[in-house]
Amino acid sequence: MRPLAVAAALLSGALAFTIPRAGAGITGPVVHIADFKFVPATLTIKAGTTVTFINDDSDAHTVTSATKAFDSGGLDAHDSWSHTFSTPGTFDYLCAVHPYMKGVITVIEP
């Protein structure tokens, strides 16, 4: 369909589409980024668990390991990013854009 035809179809309501919500189909733990905080700020999981981070703020944020073990890159509003924590340990992380935003993931043996 040509761009003008698409625009006309959208305006007339003849063409509908949906944009999937961030986090659709997530089965593991979720950390929300809201009001310039990680919620929850601390989380304990078993090794091998995938954690999904969802940016509910209107500003961009990152999920960056204090030791650079992982980094989401920039997450715009409503973006999500997942990371699997394979080894036990304590993983401090922050937002590289707003370093006062901090969180901790504690990974235990399965």
Average pLDDT, consecutive stretches of 10 residues, N- to C-terminus, the chain (110 residues): 40 38 72 98 98 97 96 97 97 98 97
In sequence order, which residues have a C-beta less than 8 Å from that of residue 81 and are 6 or more positions away?
52, 53, 63, 72, 73, 75
Structural domain harbouring 82: 23-108
Q: Would you say residue 89 lies in a domain?
A: yes
What CATH number is attached to the domain comprising 89?
Answer: 2.60.40.420
Q: Would you say residue 8 lies in a domain?
A: no
Q: What confidence score (pLDDT) does residue 2 get?
A: 42
Closest by alpha carbon to 84, among 37, 29, 38, 33? Answer: 29
How many domains is the chain partitioned into structurally?
A: 1
Q: What confidence score (pLDDT) does residue 103 get?
A: 98
Q: What confidence score (pLDDT) does residue 24 get?
A: 60
